[in-house]
């Protein structure tokens, strides 16, 4: 790809990280992790506990968890944004990231991992956090997706 491309991702338990690394390798992109200031513990990630951190954040979509360090997209034309689906949505730290950067003239493509859901992987709900970007429809990948599948997906995006 001629365009300067960055793969960014947030991962709670390493699954999205695995796919992000394969994607970056498959397409020769740089990679940067979206790291929360406060790591999500196993208790935080307990979706069956309505008092858990993720449950609280799910109920209040205005929350913007802090990032440990900024992730700059200034040097890139295309930015992939990967995340796990939490209740079929992107974790709110993804919005913290999107709202922290200037995406004018840039293209964003989301990708997600999940137990089974596909809703939320397209990134549509996130558009209002970076409305100046040109958005492509993202998709959900299995943890075991291979690089060839990822590369042919990107080929088909017409970036």
Ligand X SMILES: Cc1cc2nc3c(=O)[nH]c(=O)nc-3n(C[C@H](O)[C@H](O)[C@H](O)COP(=O)(O)O)c2cc1C
Q: Is 54 in the site for ligand X (CB under 6 A)?
A: yes
**Minimal CA–CA distance to 115: which of 147, 141, 151, 95?**
141
Q: Restricting to residues 63-122, which ones interact with ligand X according to CB under 6 A?
A: 84-88, 113-117
Site for ligand X in 118-137 (CB under 6 A): none
* Count of residues of this chain found to bind ligand X when the rule CB under 6 A is applied: 20
Q: Which helix (H) or strand (E) holds 108?
A: strand 107-113
- The residues near 53 (Cβ < 8 Å, ≥ 6 apart) are 40, 43, 44, 45
Residue 108 forms beta bridges with which residues?
A: 79, 135
**Residue 114 C-beta: closest distance to ligand X, Å:** 3
According to CB under 6 A, which residues from 6 to 35 bind ligand X?
11-17
Kindly list the residues in this chain that would bind ligand X in the complex (CB under 6 A): 11-17, 45, 47, 54, 84-88, 113-117
């Amino acid at each position: 790809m001629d365009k300067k491309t960055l793969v960014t991702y947030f991962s709670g338990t390493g699954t999205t990280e695995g796919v992000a690394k394969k994607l970056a390798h498959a397409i020769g992109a740089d990679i940067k992790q979206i790291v929360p200031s406060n790591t999500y513990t196993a208790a935080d990630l307990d979706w069956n506990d309505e008092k858990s951190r993720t449950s609280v954040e799910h109920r209040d979509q205005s929350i913007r968890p802090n990032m440990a360090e900024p992730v700059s997209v200034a040097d890139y034309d295309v930015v992939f944004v990967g995340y796990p689906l939490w209740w079929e949505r992107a974790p709110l730290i993804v919005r913290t990231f999107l709202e922290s950067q200037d995406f004018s003239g840039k293209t964003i493509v989301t990708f997600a991992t999940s137990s089974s859901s596909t809703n939320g992987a397209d990134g549509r709900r996130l558009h209002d956090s970076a409305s100046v970007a040109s958005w492509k429809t993202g998709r959900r990948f299995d943890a075991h997706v291979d690089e060839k599948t990822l590369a042919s997906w990107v080929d088909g995006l017409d970036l």
